[in-house]
Structures are given as C-alpha cells and as structure tokens.
Amino acid sequence: MPDERGGTTHFGYRDVPEDAKASMVGAVFSSVADKYDIMNDAMSFGAHRAWKLFAASQSGLKRGQCVLDVAAGSGDLSRHFRAQVGDTGLVVMTDINADMLSRGRDRMIDAGATGNITYCLADAENLAFADGSFDCVSIAFGLRNVTRIPKALRAMQRVLRPGGKLLVLEFSRPVSAPLRRLYDLYSFGVIPAMGKLIADDADSYRYLVESIRKHPDQETLAAMMRDAGFENVSWHNLAGGVVALHTGYRF
C-alpha cells in the first residue's frame, strides 16, 4: 500500500512509496560506486565522455562565475566546469549519495583539482542554497533518479541567477523505431549481464535500464522545465536521441 505521507512513484518498473524511493536509489549507487566509472565507459563504449564534454561546452560559463553540479557523481562535468570558471570562480558538487560524492571528491583530489571547488551532500529536491546563487546549474544522468522531478526543477530554477542557465543531460527516447528496438535489445540483454560481470550487481543495472524507460521523453521534459519557470527551453539529441541535452534559462 502507498505510504500515508505520500503517493507512489516508480523505481524502475516497480511502484513504490514516494518516501521510499530515495533510499532505494541510494542503495543502488552505494552498491555501484566503486565500479561506476568503469561501467560508464563499458556501457557507452566511452561515448559518455563526449556527451559530457558537449554539455559543458554549452554552459556559457565565464571566468569568475559560479556553477552548481547536481547529482555530480564522480565529477566528470565538474572537471570541465572548473577549467571554465578558473581560479576566481567556484564549482559546487552535490550528490544525495555520500559514497558517490566521496568518490567524486577523491577523483578531484587525485587530479589536483582543488581550490575552486567545494562539496555538499544535498537532495536535488531541496537545494540548501540562497536564491540566485549560481550562473549555471547542471544535472547529468541524475534527474531520472529523482523522486519528484518537478520539485527538483523548481529548486534548480530558484538557485539560478537571472539570466542563468540550466543543463539537463539525460538518457531520452531514440528518434527512430529501428534504433529504439536495437537500444532495447542492448539495454535489457547486455547491460545487466555487464553489470554482473564487472560490478557483480546485475539488479542495480537492471534498475538503471528500467529507470531510463520511465523517464520523460524530450518534449515532456521540456514542458516540465517550462512549468518550473524556465524560458527559452530547447534540447539537442545525441546518439540519435539515446541521450538529450535540455537547456533552459531563468529570466
């Protein structure tokens, strides 16, 4: 039965109480944290690096500005942002999962990336920052794991400065039917097996595949962004729509 404090939501293809999803997603990412980067390279054949580089190139960030990387994970986007804002700027990496945030911090330190970067354990739905704090907010491959996407979008809109830009990089809906069929075969037939082989965790990667299918498609997500107060919303399909970069502004 649904939790009395709220309704139900999806956890992959399962319906679960809204208040339970965050902890369930947290368990997934705690399980895969140590193998997260290896699996990203394996699943995407390294293409995720190019997708993130493209997203960073669309940030519009300048030296001295501030950027919030939500669900930052191991910090791939944050490293690009750090170079863009320079020593006088600031990158704030947040994640709801302590294991992932710790991994991101360790990777930054190992790369010598210190001085203009800070870390905060934070829920995307409840960002503990003042209104208008950032010139850019990003979330890459994390929005589909959020329990209440509209609430998270409103939170990200709130912390942007007027003229600030949101970047949402996420798996989406392939634009052609043949590609969708091929993508389904690969996603459900290969990725869980790969997760078992590399991370010894097929179930977590089965959830991740299912969560992609439950995520709003390009047009639906764009409409949700507009409802959250973003303007000039658009998207750019990557890999035939397997991934899409959505952008929007706060004015």
pLDDT of residue 132: 98
Enumerate the H helices of the chain as residue ranges: 18-32, 36-44, 47-57, 76-85, 98-110, 149-159, 177-189, 191-199, 202-214, 218-227
As to burial, measured by CB atoms within 10 angstroms (0-12 exposed, 13-18 middle, 19+ buried), residue 112 is exposed
Angstrom distances, CA of residue 86 to CA of 74, 77, 165, 224? 20, 14, 18, 33
For helices 191-199 and 202-214, angle between their N-to-C axes, nearest 10 degrees: 140
Spatial neighbors of 98 by CB under 8 A, at least 6 apart, are 121
Distance CA(150)–CA(173), nearest Å, equals: 19
Number of Cβ within 10 Å of residue 110's Cβ equals: 8
Mean pLDDT, residues 180-199 taken together: 95
What tokens were used for 4?
A: 């009395």
Is residue 4 pLDDT above 60, yes or no? no
Q: What residues form DSSP beta bridges with 118?
A: 92
pLDDT digits (tens, 9 = 90+) for 145-178: 999 999 999 999 999 999 999 999 999 999 999 9
Question: Is-contact 80 48, C-beta < 8 A?
Answer: no
pLDDT for position 78: 96
Averaged pLDDT of the chain = 94
Q: How far apart are CA 160 and CA 180, in angstroms?
A: 35
SS3 246: strand
In the chain, the amino acid numbered 171 is: F
Give CATH for domain 22-176+204-249: 3.40.50.150
Q: Is 67 helix (H, G, I), strand (E, B) or coil?
A: strand
User: What pLDDT score was predicted for residue 6?
Assistant: 63
Q: What is the pLDDT of residue 115?
A: 87
Spatial CB neighbours of 247, under 8 Å, sequence gap ≥ 6: 58, 165, 166, 167, 168, 232, 233, 234, 235, 236
